[in-house]
Amino acid sequence: MSITLSKLAMNIGDSPTLKINSKARALKAAGEPVVHLGGGEPTYPAPQAAVEAIIKKAQTRKIKYTPSSGTPELKAAVLDYTEKYYGRRYEPSQVIISAGAKQALFNFLLAAVEPGDEVVFPSPYWVSYPEMVRMAGGKPVMVRGSGTGLEVGAGDILKAVTPKTKVILINSPCNPSGQIYSEEFIKQVVEFAEKQNIFLVMDDIYHQLVFDGKKTPNPCAYAKEAKNLVIINGVSKLYGMTGLRIGWAVSVHKELIAAMGRIQSQSTSCNGDLSEVGAAAALKGDQSCVQDLCRILQENRDVLLQEAAKIPYVRVEKPAGTFYSFMDFSHYNADSNALAQYLLEKALVAVVPGVSFGAEGYLRISYCADKDSIIEGMRRIRWALDKNAPKEIKIGDKLLTRD
């Protein structure tokens, strides 16, 4: 007898990044010398303060349920952080702590989106946005720029808004392109959302991971009442603590935060006790680790761009932040899924196909790994694509053979 699964389950695709991660991990576990340039987590160790606080808490042997929307200590740390970086003081009833920025965003969508409501966001976009919007019953509206490159202007976004639009969602700097939206872009979108009474969600998970002295524009600088503004963030990328699973959402709209809290209380109940302690300690501790991380990532980015320049016909815009680059490989293969598959099979290099981010012909290449891996990965990609290169190369005692 076959069991029928729900339409929701059948219509939701796997996260392509997590899929590539597990494939690369499986190959590595089987002893293959895989270079992983597909990942979304810095290899940087967790801040010492977070580790010590977690150990201390664990030693009490009291690891219990926590208040559903977050402990007062962690909420206070998030509110201090928000005031420091956004210049606006929120109250504890205006913040919810969740299992990662992803759950914070998902709670928001479940709380705000009615069936058929449109959620507008620039393309290329983070792979999870369309599926998350669909799971909430909404319609994702991906907006491509009207120019020739990948750049999406505020005008492009505003033009895509219809009476059904409930949310505009912006991620700056952007996964996958690493581009920061300009002050003018953020100003226009913030003011528009406020005037039109549309939610503006800023997915700010990378907002401090910026290079060359650049800054991500502060949406609060342009939001008079900020009643439609929802800021999402977390500790995953900021402190390299993806495994802690702590993120948050902040909004003036207390009813929204309360609704998100009800959804969370009936789904996950609360966050991990140890995780909340670790996140609070990281937020309250010495922040020099963030500068160190940015410095390392900027160096990695420069190494990656240097290596990319050795591959003819590959085009890339210099990332201003994150730890991703989005490279146009369409000269070699317009089918990015096929190309990513080819590179994994032949060169044992994991990258993520651009089509998952809404841009066919591109590959997302991460530079959160160490420099040697970046150089080796790009060397293998160059070899796999160069028709004049030898058909075989030796990697340790492994022979790689390309088409």
Ligand X SMILES: Cc1ncc(COP(=O)(O)O)c(C=O)c1O
- Cα–Cα dist 247/294, whole Å: 20
CA–CA separation, 333 and 345 (whole Å): 15
Beta bridge partners of 124: none
Q: How far is the CB of 40 from ligand X (least distance, A)?
A: 4
Position 100 contacts ligand X (CB under 6 A): yes
Residues 148-177 that bind ligand X (CB under 6 A): 171, 175
CB of residue 97 to ligand X, shortest distance in Å: 11
Size of the chain, expressed as the number of residues it contains:
403
Interaction pattern, residues 185-224, with ligand X; x per rule: CB under 6 A: ------------------x-x-------------------
H or E, element range at 398 = strand 398-401
Q: Which residue number, 102 or 402, has a Cβ lying nearer to ligand X?
A: 102
SS3 of 44-91: the string is: CCCCHHHHHHHHHHHHCCCCCCCCCCCCHHHHHHHHHHHHHHHCCCCC
Judged by beta carbon, residue 102 or residue 301, the one nearer ligand X is 102
Identity of the residue, 104 or 348, whose beta carbon is nearer to ligand X in the bound complex: 104
The DSSP call for residue 321 is B
240 or 348: CB nearest ligand X: 240
Contacts of 303 (CB under 8 A, 6+ apart): 367, 371, 374, 375
CA 371 – CA 33 distance, rounded (Å): 16
Q: How far apart are CA 252 and CA 193, in angstroms?
A: 14
Q: Which is nearer to ligand X, 117 or 203 (CB)?
A: 203
User: Looking only at residues 30 through 59 of this chain, which bind ligand X when binding is defined by CB under 6 A?
Assistant: 40
Determine if 140 is a binding residue for ligand X (CB under 6 A).
Answer: no
CB of 178 to ligand X, least distance (A): 11
Q: Which CB atom, from 204 or from 307, has the smaller least distance to ligand X? A: 204
Task: Tell whether residue 102 is a contact of ligand X (CB under 6 A).
Answer: yes
List residues binding ligand X (CB under 6 A). 40, 100-102, 126, 171, 175, 203, 205, 234, 236, 242, 247
